[in-house]
Amino acid sequence: MKILGISAYYHDSAAVIIENGKVLYAAQEERFSRIKNDASFPINAIEYCLYESGFNIEDIDLISFYDKPFLKFERLLETYYAFAPKGFKSFAKAMPVLLKEKLFIKQFIKKRIRKLCKSKTHKITINFPEHHLSHAASAFYTSPFNRCAYLTVDGVGEWATTTYGIACGKKGIQVLGELQFPNSLGLFYSSFTYFLGFKVNSGEYKMMGLAPYGNPNSKRVLKFVKTIKEKLIDIKPDGSIKLHQEYFEYSVGLRMVNPKKWKTLFGLIKRQPEDKLEQVHADLAFAAQKVTEEVLVKLIKYIKQETKENNLCITGGVALNCVANSVLYEQNIFDDIYIQPAAGDAGGALGAALATAYIKNPKLNFSGLKNPFNVYLGPKYSNHDVERLLRKYKCNYQKFENQEALTKATAQCIAQKKVVGWYNGRSEFGPRALGNRSIIADATDPEMQYNLNMKIKFREGFRPFAPVVCEEDYDTYFELGKHSYYMLFTSKVRESLRKKIPDDFCQYSLEAKRKFIKSDLPAITHVDFSARVQVVKKDVNPLFWSLIQAYKQITGIGIFINTSFNVKDEPIVNTPEEAYNCFMKSGMDVLVLDNYLIKK
């Protein structure tokens, strides 16, 4: 059975093709449209998946959309009705879109898909699994477990904002409980993202990166935590929450919170994106992060108690919070925790297809993946495409006939403190660059973190960078922690590599904290000695593994920076030409396009 999975109309739209339960190809629409977090119908991603698979749309047995539009429409109408007359302006503005994208979505999908059909009589069958079922399926059916507990946490699907249950290869996915809108941990976190001046549904990473700059035991942080728990959120022992809606406006308004009320609560005006970040912003981010972690810990303790399962899958947008994930892992409540790498709405397309496959075909029996889920599911371009670009721009390049020579030359560039754009093979599915669409650089240079942010990525100077290390060398650099192949957990840098922090470090400014050399790997060591590590297995990405080993042979250091190949507010590069243009307009020194090494 061939199934096309689709997610769209909220953020991070995507398309996936699977056959008999096996994932073949997947891509986000933003990579083609070049609109960050593009929510539009993923026609380009669909066409890519069809082209690469060799299928026509007539070959597809089922199309699976990642939520139930009628239920979502019901929730929107009931919410507006419950708060009326408040929110009428928002309701009037949203209604035309709601009617088109929620009420008539089945006809709209058929209309778009029919344009791809050669036969006008072809019957198009569309399935609509619930949003959180799609999330749960995306995690379980890509996990190493044949049964486990699961937790989904995001902003909102139809009604549900959090669900939990048991997933089993033979019995499928069983929902045991859920939390419903407007009580949402994802929207709670996004409200602080909004108040701190970052963009909702994309700026949550920034807030997570800012939080460690907060002063943990300061009176201000303790007061912020107390205020949040007394005024904004009621946390139950089982991890369920109630948000006090008089302080929030996401239910019916055009903004997340009421800034005047939050100013009264926190003594702080809403930050504008261009405003300078101050210590008070970091303290508030830290407080919100800690409350979020407290809720999640209570949730998984309750889920363990209810399910008695040994392993746990977590998915939904909140599962992309790698700091919280590590807190959960370190609780040792479950033997192991798995998080699907495209845990947000893009992964909903994957889950919709997988959920439909296993529901429609009971003979499929999932027993857990023996190897890590393959995320390299996106576009790949040929040497001919690269050579055409080289001629077009009259590039200064060197071609390598074998991979050993290529990795050695590239590693030499990194060792010389050069910043390298690394473009090889198929692009990754999900928000992380995992070695095929990456910018890589030396982790031992104290200036590299700032230079990458300012001259390459053109983004906020406080943002941390992730290291990449071969699995066999993990223990050399990091304390015991989760080996994450997808950059979804953090690890602490080994104590032997750390520098002593001054007693008055909490009194330093944000910039002084950033500049302070915290370890022998200063470019990847965050202010709290943590790092969002990507662990590479040789049999998962052999070329990237070989590059790290080549760098180790030259320098004696088996670790370097790996960040996504893009600049601020742009999606990760897709085509070789996009990679070249990004290389030329930024401060990168070297570009590797498959077997070609290009210098400016």
Specify whether 285 is located in the same domain as 353: no
Largest CA distance in the chain: 75
The mean per-residue pLDDT over the stretch 339-366 comes to: 95
pLDDT of res. 93 = 65
Residues 474, 491: Cα–Cα separation, whole Å: 10
Specify whether 102 is located in the same domain as 37: yes
Confidence of residue 151 (pLDDT cuts 50, 70, 90): very high
Alpha helices in 141-278 (DSSP H): 185-195, 204-210, 219-227, 259-266
3-state secondary structure (DSSP) of residue 114: helix
Structure tokens at 52: 């690469």
CA distances from 86 to 195, 233, 249, 251, 422 (A): 21, 22, 10, 10, 51
Residues 493, 485: Cα–Cα separation, whole Å: 17
The answer to whether 360 and 1 are in contact (CB under 8 A) is yes
9 inside domain? yes
Structure tokens at 326: 């590590």
505 inside domain? yes
Specify whether 405 is located in the same domain as 550: yes
pLDDT of res. 75 = 85
Which of 360, 391, 423 is where one domain is finished? 360
Specify whether 320 is located in the same domain as 349: no
The answer to whether 229 and 242 are in contact (CB under 8 A) is no
pTM: 0.95
pLDDT of res. 315 = 98
pLDDT of res. 362 = 85
Q: Residue-wise over 110-122: b if at least 16 C-beta within 10 A, else e?
A: eeebeebeeeeee
Alpha helices in 366-504 (DSSP H): 383-393, 403-415, 448-451, 474-477
Specify whether 85 is located in the same domain as 193: no
Q: Which amino acid is at 477?
A: Y
3-state secondary structure (DSSP) of residue 469: strand
Residues 213, 511: Cα–Cα separation, whole Å: 10
pLDDT of res. 364 = 92
The mean per-residue pLDDT over the stretch 356-365 comes to: 92
Confidence of residue 95 (pLDDT cuts 50, 70, 90): low
Number of CB atoms found within 10 A of residue 242's CB: 13
Specify whether 326 is located in the same domain as 388: no
pLDDT of res. 144 = 98
Residues 179, 163: Cα–Cα separation, whole Å: 6
Find tokens 């700091």 and name the residue: 323
Full residue range of the structural domain in which residue 25 is found: 2-143+341-360
pLDDT of res. 339 = 98
23 inside domain? yes
Residues 357, 3: Cα–Cα separation, whole Å: 7
Phi-psi region of 21 (alpha: psi -120 to 50; beta: other; left: phi over 0): left
DSSP notation for 129-157: --HHHHHHHHHHTTSS-SEEEEEEE-S-S
The mean per-residue pLDDT over the stretch 67-76 comes to: 85
372 inside domain? no
In DSSP terms, which residues pair with 167 in a beta bridge? 148, 173
152 inside domain? no
Specify whether 536 is located in the same domain as 394: yes
Residues 222, 112: Cα–Cα separation, whole Å: 53
Q: Residue 436 belongs to a domain with what CATH number?
A: 3.90.870.20
Confidence of residue 204 (pLDDT cuts 50, 70, 90): very high
134 inside domain? yes
Q: Is the pLDDT of residue 81 over 70?
A: no
Q: Which amino acid is at 568?
A: K
Q: Residue 43 belongs to a domain with what CATH number?
A: 3.30.420.40
Residues 105, 128: Cα–Cα separation, whole Å: 11
Digit-coded pLDDT (tens) for 446-465: 999 999 999 999 999 999 99
Of residues 343 and 105, the one with the higher pLDDT is 343
Angle at 219 between CA 216 and CA 225, to 5 degrees: 65
Digit-coded pLDDT (tens) for 380-404: 999 999 999 999 999 999 999 999 9
Read off the DSSP letter of residue 472: G
The answer to whether 76 and 6 are in contact (CB under 8 A) is no
The answer to whether 500 and 549 are in contact (CB under 8 A) is no
Specify whether 356 is located in the same domain as 325: no
Q: Is the pLDDT of residue 13 over 90?
A: yes
Specify whether 68 is located in the same domain as 209: no
590 inside domain? yes
Which of 360, 395, 427 is where one domain is finished? 360
When divided into structural domains, the chain yields a total of 3
Single out the residue of 538, 563, 542, 144 nearest to residue 339, CA to CA. 144
In DSSP terms, which residues pair with 448 in a beta bridge? none
How are beta strands 14-19 and 2-7 bridged, if at all? antiparallel
The 3-state DSSP composition of the chain as helix, strand, coil percent (nearest 5) reads: 40, 20, 40
pLDDT of res. 600 = 87
Which of 269, 304, 338 is where one domain is finished? 338
Residues 453, 459: Cα–Cα separation, whole Å: 5
The mean per-residue pLDDT over the stretch 242-251 comes to: 95
173 inside domain? no
Digit-coded pLDDT (tens) for 412-438: 999 999 999 999 999 999 999 999 999
Of residues 170 and 588, the one with the higher pLDDT is 588
Digit-coded pLDDT (tens) for 528-579: 999 999 999 999 999 999 999 999 999 999 999 999 999 999 999 999 999 9
Digit-coded pLDDT (tens) for 253-300: 779 999 999 999 999 999 999 999 999 999 999 999 999 999 999 999
Specify whether 251 is located in the same domain as 121: no
Structure tokens at 117: 């059909």
Of 101-110, 150-159, 582-591, least confident by mean pLDDT is 101-110
**Percent of the chain residues topping a pLDDT of 90:** 90
3-state secondary structure (DSSP) of residue 451: helix
The mean pLDDT value of the chain amounts to 95
Specify whether 315 is located in the same domain as 421: no
Of residues 387 and 78, the one with the higher pLDDT is 387
Specify whether 394 is located in the same domain as 297: no
pLDDT of res. 127 = 96
**Percent of the chain residues topping a pLDDT of 70:** 96
Q: Is the pLDDT of residue 86 over 80?
A: no
Cα R_g (the chain), whole angstroms: 24
